[in-house]
Amino acid sequence: MSPAPIADADAAVTLAALLDEWSQPWFDGGTLVALEAAESADRIGHFHWLLRFKGDEKEFVTLWLTLRQRTVFIEVQVMPAPEENVEAVYRFLLAKNAALHPLHAALGPEDAVYLVGRVPVGEVNLEVLDELAGAAVHYVDQIFPTAMELGMGSFYRRRRRN
């Protein structure tokens, strides 16, 4: 099996065009409120996009896409590092992790809780973007209130729906 081709500026242009096409129905439906792209690659050659969705439990769900050497890496911050009941939060997340697809829970910078995933560059299409975005918004809305109540119960109050 040969490795996937290395992504470059052409792959970034292709992904940007795909995101523009994919995002329009999400904008029209009011679920996607922002799509931003870095103007150029970062110091190690990665290209970045930020997508901000309206959430139910969390006001906004922000999805970062990074075009890496051979994959598109996806990350979504669920919550900052838990300050209370840390073991209970991690136990909850580990139990949830078994049912998460195509994303999974992970600890990120400063022990914040993230959902992450990766897709080979050549497999990213409209359906894959739908699956990733849908999973991100759904899982954050599903995990966020319980994780926050466990890990930040002194500070967190669940949003009231109108």
Query: Which string of DSSP letters, residue by residue, matches 38-105?
Result: -SS--TTS-EEEEEEEE-SSSSEEEEEEEE-SSEEEEEEEEES---S-HHHHHHHHHHHHTT--S-EE
Q: If you average pLDDT over residues 19-25, what whole number do you get? A: 97
Phi, psi of 142 (to 5 degrees): -80, -40
pLDDT of 161 strictly over 70:
no
Q: Which of 7, 4, 79 is nearest to 48 (CA)?
A: 7
Share of the chain above pLDDT 90, in %: 83
* Model pTM above 0.95: no
Alpha carbon separation from 121 to 52, 127, 157 (Å, rounded)? 22, 14, 39
Domains and CATH numbers, the chain: 9-151 (3.30.1460.10)
pLDDT band for 5, please (50, 70, 90 cuts): low
pLDDT band for 104, please (50, 70, 90 cuts): very high
Q: In this predicted structure, what is the pLDDT of residue 9? A: 75
Q: Is residue 42 within 8 Å of residue 48, measured between CB atoms?
A: yes
Q: Is residue 32 within 8 Å of residue 23, measured between CB atoms?
A: yes
